[in-house]
């Protein structure tokens, strides 16, 4: 019997190579606001979380209004790069999407980004997903499990029939809190970051659907 029926993908860093654009936009904004920011801060406090939550996690002493205004500015810096088409879709993920579809699996994207649909449309792959769930569709963003639970619900599947593919610490925590099998993808060579995942890979090119099913059966 097939255990795996649905695959839920994070977007930034898993499907789309948009982490550099997000990082550059955050860096510019935090520098203007006078906050220290580097890759470690990004991964520990910002990556995978909703825009306001990520901004607030760094601007810990700022008023909500200031955090909101700064987060909107960051979005303008990000969008400028996206509008100029400054991102690629990962080839390994495209191949993996094809393999999933060939096996009849249903696919969803569950991203904290309010720009998720825009990025998927620009990449020309929005129609590959039966559900596209954004951070604003739920009350609690990652690391809460709500976004993945809603994505599974929209696919008409229980969490046990789905696998989540994530590249962020907050995303892995959210998937595990929701009772999902989670594949962590680390393209940076720092696999220990995603230690909470059930399996960590450096790309999806060698990930086989039968390996995922084997993990599910354990
Ligand atoms: O500002 P947006 O596009 O709504 O995205 C929110 C967050 O979305 C996450 O997917 C990214 O990992 C973060 O870097 C980003 O800040
Ligand atoms: Mg991500």
Question: With bands split at pLDDT 50, 70 and 90, how would you rate the model's confidence at 191?
Answer: confident
Q: What is the spatial distance between Cα 166 and Cα 164, in angstroms, rounded to a whole number? A: 6
What is the 50 CA–ligand 1 centroid distance (Å)? 6
Q: All domains of the chain, ordered by start, with CATH?
A: 6-17+87-217 (3.40.50.1000), 19-83 (1.10.150)
Question: Is the pLDDT at 203 greater than 70, yes or no?
Answer: yes
pLDDT digits (tens, 9 = 90+) for 73-129: 999 999 999 998 878 999 999 999 999 999 999 999 999 999 999 999 999 999 999
pLDDT digits (tens, 9 = 90+) for 64-75: 999 999 999 999
Chain mean pLDDT for the chain = 95
Query: Do the interacting molecules here have an ipTM over 0.90?
Result: yes
Number of H helices, E strands in the chain: 9, 6
Strands 106-111 and 6-9, bridge-based pairing? parallel
137 as an active site residue: the answer is no
pTM metric for this prediction: 0.96
What is the 56 CA–ligand 2 centroid distance (Å)? 18
Q: What is the spatial distance between Cα 100 and Cα 88, in angstroms, rounded to a whole number? A: 20
Question: With bands split at pLDDT 50, 70 and 90, how would you rate the model's confidence at 2?
Answer: low
92 as an active site residue: the answer is no
Tally of CA atoms within 13 A in the half-sphere of 83 that contains its CB: 6
Q: Which atom of ligand 1 is nearest to the CA of 168?
A: 12
Q: What is the pLDDT of residue 192?
A: 87
Q: What is the pLDDT of residue 1?
A: 45
Strand, helix or coil for residue 19 = helix
Strands 181-185 and 162-166, bridge-based pairing? parallel
Of residues 87 and 172, more confidence is placed in: 172
Q: Tell me which residue has its CA closest to atom 9 in ligand 1.
A: 48
């Amino acid at each position: 019997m097939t255990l795996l029926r649905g695959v839920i993908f994070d977007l930034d860093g898993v499907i789309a190579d948009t982490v550099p654009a997000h990082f550059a936009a955050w860096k510019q904004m935090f520098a203007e606001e006078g906050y220290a920011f580097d890759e470690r801060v990004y991964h520990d406090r910002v990556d995978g979380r909703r825009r306001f939550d990520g901004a607030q996690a760094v601007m810990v002493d700022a008023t909500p209004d200031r955090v909101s205004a700064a987060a909107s500015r960051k979005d303008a810096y990000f969008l400028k790069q996206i509008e100029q088409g400054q991102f690629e879709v990962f080839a390994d993920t495209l191949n993996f999407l094809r393999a999933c579809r060939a096996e009849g699996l249903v696919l969803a994207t569950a991203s904290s980004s309010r720009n998720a649909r825009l990025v998927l449309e620009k990449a020309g792959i929005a129609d590959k997903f039966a559900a596209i769930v954004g951070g604003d569709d739920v009350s609690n963003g990652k690391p809460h499990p709500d976004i993945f639970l809603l994505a599974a619900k929209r696919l008409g599947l229980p969490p046990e029939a789905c696998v989540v593919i994530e590249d962020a610490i907050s995303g892995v925590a959210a998937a595990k809190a929701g009772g999902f099998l989670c594949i962590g993808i680390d393209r940076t060579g720092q696999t220990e970051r995603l230690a909470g995942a059930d399996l960590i890979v450096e790309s999806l090119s060698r990930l086989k659907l039968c390996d995922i099913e084997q993990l599910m059966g354990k």
